[in-house]
Structure 1
Amino acid sequence: MFGNYLIGLREGLEASLVVCILIAYLVKTGRRDALRPVWAGIAVAVLLAFGFGCALTFGSQELTFEAQEALGGSLSIVAVGLVTWMVFWMRRTARHLKQELTGRLDAALQMGTAALVATAFLAVGREGLETALFVWASVRASNDGTHGPLIGVLLGLATAVVLGWLFYRGALRINLAKFFTWTGGMLVIVAAGVLAYGVHDLQEAGWVPGLRNLAFDISGTIPPDSWYGTLLKGVFNFQPDPTVVQVAVWALYLVLTLALFLSPVGFGPGKPKVKGTDAQASDSAQAQAR
């Protein structure tokens, strides 16, 4: 449940910050008349993400077992790819998010209502679709037969909405650069578990060999239905009897991704870390609300 809460919190907070910056900028510049089309674009983006999640959940139930496993495994890998890209992108551009969004909004204000709707829709819609896909893959990987994973996601999203509102009101100040670094690292660990489960789905579908070649089996030591087994499953998508391919993919992804993520050279050229920049990043949303 914690892993899914982290997904909802991290993804939801990004969307909340985007909304906060857009709305605060319009209020600050005296363009309250543009709030309605912006909210319309945000609403359409949220509905699209919700519809996409429903389509993934209910549409796959009509497929055969092999087709379900192939679809689930493929989409899990796609979700991990998107989330990995998002983690690196946010770490690299968190300091410049305000300037990027307000620049787009200035251009949209000159083009008219349709451009405002499109700007808000694209800014929030990308986050929403990524969230829906990764949440679906993570909940499917949890596979604990309860509503715990979904509840964790909803609690994370609710927390993100509250934090976004507090940012807008100027009542909350945190170091966003450090926040996205720590949560990004934890999200990489969650993504590694989703990736391993996706590979297992592809093995079930017959797309990847080695389904019967177990790396180890510690089900007797860590029963999946025990409280600690459930905890490990909920946080890390831990499986007590993974295949050799699953372990290899999990370890390779985790080691390489974390090494690159924690290395300063992994964030692209031309953005050196300057003393004091992190502190400025923590106030990006609040500065727009004043």
Structure 2
Amino acid sequence: MVANYLIGLREGLEAALVVGILVAYVVRSGRRDLLPALWVGVGTAAVVSLAFGALLTFGPRGLTFEAQEAIGGSLSIVAVGLLTWMIFWMARTARNLRANLHHRLDDAIGAGAEAVALMALLAVGREGLETALFLWAGAQATGASTAPLLGAALGLATAVLLGWLVYRGAVRLDLRVFFAWTGLFLVVVAAGVLSYGVHDLQEAGILPGLDRLAFDVSTTIPPSSWYATLLKGVVNFTPATTWLQLVAWWAYVVPTTVFFVRTTWGAPRHPARPVGTPAGLPA
């Protein structure tokens, strides 16, 4: 639940900031007539994201167990790749988010309402599709159905509220710091999703070693206990882990963490420009 809350918060806040920047820029440009087209693009992105999430959830049903595990494991690994790319990309571009969107929106305004709707669809839709895939992978890894959805819903609700407060200028938020620390935690989450994906591929018979356990602490940490549920929800920990899962976890988390820390905190630091100016626009 905690991991899905963080994913919902991080991705939802990014989407909320994108929408806030686009709306504020259109208003400040004196083109309020383009707001309906912009909201059409945002609404379409939301519908497409929900449809994608439903496809991931209900699409594989009816297939054989091995096919479901093969699809689930493959998509989990794809989600880890996208999540890793998103973590590094956002850590580098958070400070320039507004300028990049303004440049793209200027071109769209010159092309007309349809271009504005398409630009909003693409900008918000990317966040929505990523969120749907990440949340689905997180829910599959925890093996629960209600708690991950509740965590994601709370994260998205918090993101919407925080995005609105930022837009109104009531909250000042340093995006670089926010995305740096949440990104560090998500590296651990992604490692757990990768481990789960490897286990799925083992159950599908694609990868070997399903019967070779690195450790089994089920007697010490019963899977049904509250602390096992907490560990699974936060870092996707499983009491019984195969050697291949363990190797994949460490092979991902160590170099990714080192590279992320060097990229994020090793770069020359500039004076922070917090988000939440009186104009309501992120810096």
- Report the TM-score when normalising by structure 2: 0.96
Q: What one-letter code is carried by the residue in structure 2 that aligns with 1:275?
A: H
Q: What one-letter code is carried by the residue in structure 2 that aligns with 1:79?
A: A
Supply the distance in 2 between the matched residues of 1:264 and 1:5 (Cα, whole angstroms).
25
Structure 2 counterpart of 1:19:
19
- The alpha carbon displacement at 1:265 in A equals 7.7
Q: Is the 8 A contact 2:91 2:264 kept in 1?
A: no
Gaps of 5+ in 2: none
1:146-189: CA deviations, max 9, x gaps? 51111001100110010111111010112111000000111111
2:281 equivalent to 1:282: no
Supply the distance in 1 between the matched residues of 2:265 and 2:65 (Cα, whole angstroms).
40
Structure 2 counterpart of 1:205:
204
- The alpha carbon displacement at 1:124 in A equals 0.5
Cα distance, 1:285–1:86 mapped onto 2, change above 3 Å: farther
Structure 2 counterpart of 1:223:
222
Supply the distance in 1 between the matched residues of 2:269 and 2:222 (Cα, whole angstroms).
49
Structure 2 counterpart of 1:57:
57
Cα distance, 1:285–1:165 mapped onto 2, change above 3 Å: same
The 4+ residue runs of structure 1 with deviation greater than 6 A are none
Give SS of 2:241's match.
coil
Q: Is the 8 A contact 1:232 1:238 kept in 2?
A: yes
Supply the distance in 1 between the matched residues of 2:126 and 2:263 (Cα, whole angstroms).
26
1:227-259: CA deviations, max 9, x gaps? 111110111110011100000000111111111
Q: How does 1:149-160 map to 2 (within 5 A)?
A: 149-160=148-159
Structure 1 counterpart of 2:131:
131
Q: Is the 8 A contact 1:167 1:285 kept in 2?
A: no
Q: Percent identity?
A: 58
Give SS of 2:249's match.
helix
Q: Is the 8 A contact 2:180 2:264 kept in 1?
A: no
Q: Is the 8 A contact 1:177 1:282 kept in 2?
A: no
- The alpha carbon displacement at 1:281 in A equals 4.5
Structure 2 counterpart of 1:41:
41
- The alpha carbon displacement at 1:282 in A equals 3.0
Supply the distance in 1 between the matched residues of 2:130 and 2:69 (Cα, whole angstroms).
20
Q: Is the 8 A contact 1:21 1:285 kept in 2?
A: no
Structure 2 counterpart of 1:273:
268
Count of residues in correspondence between the two structures: 282
Supply the distance in 2 between the matched residues of 1:59 and 1:207 (Cα, whole angstroms).
21
- The alpha carbon displacement at 1:284 in A equals 7.0
Supply the distance in 1 between the matched residues of 2:277 and 2:141 (Cα, whole angstroms).
36
- The alpha carbon displacement at 1:288 in A equals 3.1
- Report the TM-score when normalising by structure 1: 0.94
Structure 2 counterpart of 1:81:
81
Q: What one-letter code is carried by the residue in structure 2 that aligns with 1:282?
A: V
